[in-house]
Homo-oligomer: A and B are copies of this chain.
Amino acid sequence: MKFKIKKEILNENLNNVSKALSNKNIIPILSGIKFELKEEGLYLIATDDDITIQSFIEKENSIEIFELGSIIIPGRYFIDIVRKIPTEEINLETDGLILNITTKTSQYNLNGMHYNDFPERTLELIKSPIVLSSKIIKNIVNQTSFSVSNQESRPILTGINLLINKDLLECVATDSYRLSKKILKLDNKFTDKINIVIPGKNLIELSKILDEKETNVEIHIFSNNILFKFSNILFQSRLLNGTYPDTSKLIKEEHILKITTNLEELYNVIDRASLLTNEKEKNVVKMDVFENELIISSTSLEIGNIEEKMSIEKDSKENIKIAFSSKYMMEALKSFKSEKIDIYLSGEIKPIILKEQENDSLIQLILPIKTF
């Protein structure tokens, strides 16, 4: 393998695949990046056995090829070197299992590994994938992924449940204390029902690579993996095995009280009330709906207490006292972008449901905490 490449372009593509580099040193090959130089250009591939990312650099305008070939290079070291090299072009050449990186004044030799040792990953495509814009996918991930469980005791809850039925796409994440649900209408109707669970952390890595623009992303779903194709990138994630719990019954239509208030103001009030709370005691904050006021309070025997009032609108004369985790409530509130927020209450020990006004596409649910 021997070629000359523009540094900035190599850098950018290394950054894409770096998200799949394993940080664990158990299997050295998984901390490597596979280079495959073909007639059409350079393929970079990395995998940590959970996600696999391929980034392709077209020969045109970026690469001058002298000799085709393949090698696996220690990922982090190579990325650091390329980032810090001051020249605009870099010469890369293999000498057996060594990669020589040369500029006018410098020579770096990195010990590589044989490309045959790299785990085989078939990056298949289907004929009619789902197509969504990168902006929409980023949104779905940001609005749901914080609710996935980080406990390995129930592995299925560490994933996001993706359901497709005809032209309806539904994403659900829950750690069993709270739930996030996003509903989208697709442009096309699908005949097959889809019900899969994608590891939450993998979708967070995906959203880091997706741009803010309206780039089309093809979603290819298989029985044990999902593949996202966009720009010059293939991003594959394994799926979680098992059945995701049916959460549709948790979100009920009836409520005894709906309150409407300013979203940003509510967030800031809860943020201040949470100053005296701590994670060990579940960040408990109390909410007291009394007449046309909301009283948010928290108490720490050791440090003191906080109480703030804000005005609200109500749809009934009911008054309710309820307590919840300020951390969960703040993460849920942050997922909305509207000026006002609707909070549906059904009782002191019933789920709290948050929605934007006249918009059912995003639902956040939080279980209250019993404090009496």
Contacts and interface: CB of A to CB of B under 8 A. Distances in A.
Contacts of A307: 106-108
Given A105-B310, A268-B86, A310-B105, A80 B305 contact: no
Contacts of A107: 306-308
B81 A272 contact: yes
Interface in A101-121: 105-111
A101 to B, nearest CB: 9
Interface in A287-330: 302-310
A74 B108 contact: no
- Of A84, A275, A302, most buried by chain B (CB within 10 Å of CB) is A275
A105 B305 contact: no
Contact of A108 (B77, B84, B109, B304): B304
Contact of A77 (B110, B111, B303, B310): B303
A309 B106 contact: yes
Given A85-B272, A271-B84, A275-B84, A303 B108 contact: no
A268 B84 contact: yes
A276 interface: yes
- Of A84, A268, A304, most buried by chain B (CB within 10 Å of CB) is A304
B275 A81 contact: yes
A1 interface: no
Give this chain's copy count: 2
Contacts of A98: 304
Interface in A255-277: 268, 271-272, 275-276
A214 B302 CA distance: 44
Contacts of A84: 268, 271-272, 275
A271 to B, nearest CB: 6
Nearest to A105: B309
Contacts of A81: 272, 275, 306
Contacts of A108: 304-307
Nearest to A309: B105
Interface string A56-86: 0000000000000000001001001100111
A224 to B, nearest CB: 35
A264 to B, nearest CB: 11
Given A98-B304, A304-B98, A275 B77 contact: yes
Closest 8 CB pairs of A and B: A110-B304, A106-B308, A109-B304, A108-B306, A111-B304, A80-B275, A84-B272, A105-B309
Interface of A: 74, 77, 80-81, 84-86, 98-99, 105-111, 268, 271-272, 275-276, 302-310
Given A108-B306, A110-B304, 7 more contacts: A74-B303, A77-B275, A85-B272, A105-B310, A108-B305, A108-B307, A109-B304
